A and B are shown apart, each in its own frame.
Chain A
Amino acid sequence: MPTISIFHKDLSTLLGRPTTIPEIEQWMPLVKGEIKDVSQETGEIRVELQDTNRPDLWCVEGIARQLRSVHSGNQSPYPFFSSKGRAKRRIQVLQGMEAVRPFVAACAASGYEMTDLALEQCIQTQEKLADTFGRKRETVSIGLYRLTSIQFPVTYGLVKPQEARFTPLGFEEKMTLQEILTLHPKGIEYAGILADHDRLPLLWDADGQVLSFPPIINSRELGEVQVGDTDLLVEVTGTDLSMVMLALNIFATNLADRGATIEPLDISYPYETIYGTTIKTPLDMGHSHRISLHAVEQALGVSLEAETVGDALASYGYQVKTTRHSLSVKLPPYRHDLMHVMDVAEDVAITRGYDSFTPIMPQSFTVGGLTTQESTSDQIRDLMVGFGFQEMFSNILSSRQEWVDRMRINGTPYERLVEVENVMSLSYSCLRPSILPCLLRVEALSPRSFYPHLLFEVGEIARLDLEANVGSRTLMSVAAINAHPGANFSEIHSYLDLLMYYMAWAYELEPVSHPSFLDGRVGKIRLNGQPAGFIGEFHPEVLEAWQINMPTSGFEFQIL
């Protein structure tokens, strides 16, 4: 969910009318946006956009475009999508790119003098599209250049890392691609994308000047757009053709909305793409979809005239042709998110306003209830509370130190845990294999809370089990401890005995050895003959490891 920064005055200009903040706030549902913050001083508005499938809305131009079209009922024409004939300028893609970063799309934009604000917004859009939509530049990255310094045709091809040298943005001297990858901050950040390749992508012009080293960095000479520039080249490279094209379409319409004239470029490929070997970009990739009126009505729970639906969609930016029972709809070229009739139905609902639909209750009769695990847990919890135990509720992601080391079970079969691979902090790296460590953690942190301490928890644990399909099992476990100067086996045994009696469960204790407990004061709990857990007095070394100075006993067993 991207959050962007837009400016009140800029939005008003793009909307072609003065606006107030409350008005803007009211319109936000139309773009699934939420205003997070408004600065009265600078007019800066922070907007969070929810829809990850609508990258066209992640910029002020896109928000304004969507609002303009709903307000006016129709949308601005973008004639460059239907320009005929060969383009004036061209990018030649070379053989080999298909294996590294196959696609490029570009257009020229002229006649609009870049202002401070517009440039800032362009850079923000470039970053949001490349970062969030383009998966941190892996699938899409974008470059802006000063058009007049570039000699066409431009070439997009592979070079050896030591072969090409140019001055990257942010540096004074020329560097090889190899040097950029190891020394330039952007090189270091994005080097991973090109890690598997011994030849690297480069864009250069007819004079041999380097435009950029995609997706890493632009050249300082050609790729540093400045306030006051009137002629730009926009280029998008990437690994997914439709995403590359969509990003360029968004950028082109944005610049057009600001007053630039967009001039398409021809891209010539030495290999086949879904749009052929020469693609004129920007390209409208949209198709008409036939939508059944009935499907929309059924989804929304209201009866509608085809005309009404058509008008709603047209005002939301669609191209629509209506017949009596169906509609033929086509998304505007800066959108590519129509997969199903439901997507269209939602846009109808958004245009009409969610509050215009009267809620009705589902009428069907259903029986509510709890799972056996939950209702059994609840019975046990009620009993334990009645026995005088305080219920605890713990986080279950913690460290090997807590689950294993402090419990003295290193090197035993009990030490196997469900562990996290992408550890953020060792403190949150393993799922709990039992609840007792959680209760000992409470005891360790609460020596000042008055005694006795009778604590219990009923909840889920995860045990590694290679037989299971997912390599582990989630089990429901019951654990309790008593901690006070006279706490011992006999006392905790009484509680276990009483619990089993009231639950009407047959259980036995079998003398065993367990490193967490004192020898001779520990038993394996068998429930209906099956091993289910342990009961015992905690070994002083366990208590020392937790820095607990109070005698503590406990039991834990798994149910169901």
Chain B
Amino acid sequence: MSSSTNTESLHPLEIQVLKALGKQEGLLTDPQLVDHTGLAASQVSMAVGWLLTKDLVSLASEKTTTYVSLTEVGTQFHQQASPLEWIVQSVKSAAQDGTSLTVKNLQTSETFQPTELSRAIGLLKKEEAIQLATGGALEVTGKPSPTSDRLRTLLNRVYEGPQPITDFSPDEQGTLRQYSVKRGNTQEPFRIDDHTERGYRLTPAGHSLIPHLRDGAAEEISQLTPELLKDGSWRNRIFRKYSISLRPPRLAVGRRHPYREFLDSVKHKLTSMGFQEMRGELVETEFWDMDALYMPQFHPARAIHDVYFVKEPSHAKSIAEPFLSQVAQAHRDGGNTGSKGWNYQYDQERAKRLVLRSQGTAVSARTLATNPHVPGKFFSIARCFRYDQVDATHATDFFQVEGIVLGSDINFRTLLGLLKLFATEMAQAKEIRFFPAYFPFTEPSVELHVRHPKLGWMELGGAGLFRSEVTVPLGVSVPVIAWGLGLDRMAMIALGIQDIRDLFTSDLEAVRSMRRQQL
């Protein structure tokens, strides 16, 4: 470190401390530094702190002294009277007025606490400065109380300012300790505490700087102002150099939510691959949420979709035709879908039952019923709800990334091709594996496992060809891929969170500190 750069980045406070030390052969203690620089103790301590870290000064001595000082109570005793003095005076003046005082009379006084008075009376009696006459009246004997006198001397002495306890005689030290603030007794006149005095001297590096130190901080400026620029006076000024390694102050800024930003990137990825966004409603009928997806009204497959039912109104007014009849037919006996159906009494009333959308596929089902363009690619990032106990892996409501691909060239191999594309685009994976899977609405069904370059093998999604029992009743005659991506694990790792509920946290500090790692 060259000494010139070093002096330029010094703070004015540091310069003053360095100069004070430079004029001295030996060391200076902090009180001495306060004297020599004329700075406040806190400024000295701040400057010394910086200089120590820069290795320009070093700690040369450390001496701990026990000091006695007056407390607020002590100052009061000094100005007015200690309880000992007050008792003697009160009793005396009562006697002069021809009356007498009992212990009880004294204790009703508001000047001192009753316990404090009891202690003082006890001591005065012991030292025979007062005595108890018949009838409980107190009398002054005329004998002096040594403790009271010693206390007065000490109060006067300490009133001058804090003093090392070693300056006092052993007897006096005893009295000081007896009348000092302790835990449980804060109403005492003295305070005894340790004070560490540190001595500092220049290091060789500090010494070498002394000749280069600027004279005073007068023309130094820290902030360029419009005035300085307007009148050109900045030319005569020196700009203090900053310590640029210090941490900057924090800012409150505008920023996208990190999880939402993650979903934004998914959305943009999908549109760039030619997918059109589709949206649905938060409240769905069982018809579109499940029946249209060929999940029979009775089947255990519905157990995997434990749903939230809507209270009021509980049912939709109607289900659009011809979809209701065609789906009902597919459930009953397959209708014209080439299937034998589920073979049960389909309940059209149940189809109208309202639920909170339990799966994003409901949005796909609705899109199929809108005579969508063929070939077509669609996606949705849909808020879904499951009747689950909320814990680190289950949120009350969450997002599902799902979609469909329609086309006459769609088959099992193009399904695998699409999944392979997702693996590359969404997870930069070169290695992939396909496993047989089960979804009530697809056949064949596939689970996609990918080897993420950083996260290793993981399940990325599930997909399949929509069953004819799904597509035909909704008016679609070409094969359709239905796909879903499970991206939450990737999002959580990217955002550095372990609990799925933290994706939607209401803790502002957590959101402000969350950032997205590139995976």
Contacts and interface: CB of A to CB of B under 8 A. Distances in A.
B412 A301 contact: yes
A421 interface: yes
Interface in A411-426: 418-422, 424-425
A354 B340 CA distance: 26
A270 B195 CA distance: 104
A228 interface: no
B310 A454 contact: no
Contacts of B507: 442, 445-446, 449
Interface in B409-456: 409-414, 416-421, 433-438, 440, 443-446
A452 B250 CA distance: 12
Interface residues of A, number: 96
Interface string B295-337: 0001111011000111111101110000000000000001001
B397 interface: yes
B284 A470 contact: yes
A469 interface: yes
A357 B257 contact: no
Interface in A265-304: 298-302
Interface in A4-44: 29-30, 32
Interface in A358-378: 358-371, 373-374, 378
B253 interface: yes
A51 B481 CA distance: 19
A418 B260 contact: no
A173 interface: no
A392 B257 CA distance: 6
Interface residues of B, number: 105
Interface string A372-397: 01100010010011111111111111
Contacts of A363: 409
Given A391-B257, A431-B356, A460 B433 contact: no
A536 to B, nearest CB: 22
Nearest to B469: A340
Contacts of B390: 425, 428
B310 A471 contact: yes
A471 B342 CA distance: 30
B117 interface: no
A53 interface: yes
Interface in A328-374: 338-343, 345-346, 349-350, 354-355, 357-371, 373-374
Interface string A444-458: 011011111111000
A466 interface: yes
Contacts of A368: 270-276, 377
B467 interface: yes
Contact of B506 (A384, A397, A421, A441): A441
Contact of A453 (B252, B421, B437, B467): B252
Contact of A340 (B278, B339, B385, B504): B339
B413 A357 contact: yes
Interface stretch (A75-83, A132-140, A249-257, A485-493): A132-140
A89 interface: no
Nearest to A34: B435
B508 A449 contact: yes
Nearest to B501: A395
A148 interface: no
Interface string B146-180: 00000000000000000000000000000000000
Contact of B387 (A343, A392, A422): A422
A164 interface: no
A419 B414 CA distance: 42
Contact of B277 (A53, A242, A369, A445): A369
B278 A371 contact: yes
A373 B382 CA distance: 13
Nearest to A386: B254
B75 to A, nearest CB: 38
A361 B284 contact: no
B497 to A, nearest CB: 13
Contacts of B356: 397, 420, 431
B383 interface: yes
A302 to B, nearest CB: 7
B283 A139 contact: no
Contacts of B469: 339-340
A216 B308 CA distance: 29
Contact of B316 (A53, A388, A422, A471): A471
B363 to A, nearest CB: 11
Contacts of B271: 368-370
A470 B312 contact: no
A519 to B, nearest CB: 29
A53 B445 CA distance: 13
Given A385-B255, A393-B259, A339 B310 contact: no
B389 A424 contact: yes
B281 interface: yes
B341 interface: yes
A336 to B, nearest CB: 10
B263 to A, nearest CB: 9
Given A29-B435, A371-B279, A469-B316, A385 B254 contact: yes
Pick the most buried of A302, A350, A357: most chain B CB atoms within 10 A of its CB.
Answer: A357
A206 B411 CA distance: 59
Contacts of A462: 282-283
14 contacts: A30-B436, A301-B413, A301-B414, A354-B416, A359-B413, A363-B409, A368-B276, A393-B260, A395-B397, A421-B311, A421-B314, A431-B283, A450-B250, A470-B281
Interface of A: 1, 29-30, 32, 50-53, 132-133, 135, 139, 240, 242, 298-302, 338-343, 345-346, 349-350, 354-355, 357-371, 373-374, 378, 381, 384-397, 418-422, 424-425, 428, 431, 438, 441-443, 445-446, 448-455, 460, 462, 466, 469-474
